[in-house]
Copies of this chain bind each other. A is one copy, B any other.
């Protein structure tokens, strides 16, 4: 079964299109997990316990796992998410060539989908795209201000660079396993990309801490009901808002806040589904 079919089933089961970003910033981990053998894994496990009912997907960003303990924490996290029947999308934004790209693609043995960077072109993404059962989300329009530096450049034969990337990704979608990353901070861009590629599911980041538009994310992000709207810090660090926040020994209070934040985002998004 392909990734997007599995994701469709998960979306139905959880009644949710929420992607929970697992970005366990070492500087923000709460006292409750600081003494664990692998604090990032201890943190993620509790976040998964608190949020899995509301999660269509978990999205660990590879940046937070790039050391020896980090890869152990990531592997445990993936296994635990799978134990809760939630697929895992590794937000790695990889892009390299030849034998190096093939090496990067081996991480797809462990996770269900990945984000990739299109700057090196179609052949650089083949080792990912050829894994028919795995999802490949191509960066298209990102939610940061500097995203415009390259992505909004106007092309000589019409359109903007990110629109061309959307069209290329559509052409690369031989196996029905390609999605796009399109930020929610520019709703009109979401709409424009959706019109040009009606069939590609989007991963829409930027709805939580970055303040993007939830209605536009749902209206344009889903393709035939399938797509993901991500929040990372807005969910996993919601516990910082409870009394005593990070310092509390009360794990239930801290991680309960994450569970409520995931539930609330699910409900907010479901208003528009």
Contact with A96, one of B63, B67, B120, B210 (Cβ below 8 angstroms): B63
Docked Cα-Cα span, A66 to B145, in Å, equals: 30
Q: In the complex, what's the smallest C-beta–C-beta distance from A180 to chain B, in angstroms?
A: 13
Contact with A144, one of B70, B94, B98, B107 (Cβ below 8 angstroms): B98
A153 at the interface (CB under 8 A from B): yes
A95 at the interface (CB under 8 A from B): yes
A80 at the interface (CB under 8 A from B): no
Q: Are B149 and A121 in contact, CB atoms less than 8 angstroms apart?
A: yes
Docked Cα-Cα span, A180 to B119, in Å, equals: 14
Q: Which partner residue on chain B sits nearest A206 by CB separation?
A: B97
Q: Are B96 and A123 in contact, CB atoms less than 8 angstroms apart?
A: no
How many chain copies does the complex carry?
Answer: 2
Contact with A149, one of B72, B117, B168 (Cβ below 8 angstroms): B168
6 contacts between A and B (CB under 8 A): A66-B107, A93-B120, A97-B143, A119-B139, A120-B142, A123-B146
Docked Cα-Cα span, A168 to B153, in Å, equals: 12
Of residues 213 to 229 in A, which have CB atoms within 8 Å of B's CB atoms? Answer: none
Of residues 137 to 185 in A, which have CB atoms within 8 Å of B's CB atoms? Answer: 139, 142-151, 153-157, 161, 164-165, 168
Q: Are A119 and B155 in contact, CB atoms less than 8 angstroms apart?
A: no
Q: In the complex, what's the smallest C-beta–C-beta distance from A174 to chain B, in angstroms?
A: 15
Residues of chain B with a CB closer than 8 A to A122's CB: 146, 149
Docked Cα-Cα span, A174 to B255, in Å, equals: 43
Q: Are B97 and A25 in contact, CB atoms less than 8 angstroms apart?
A: no
Contact with A103, one of B63, B94, B151 (Cβ below 8 angstroms): B63
Contact with A71, one of B61, B66, B151, B154 (Cβ below 8 angstroms): B66
Q: Are B155 and A157 in contact, CB atoms less than 8 angstroms apart?
A: no
A104 at the interface (CB under 8 A from B): yes
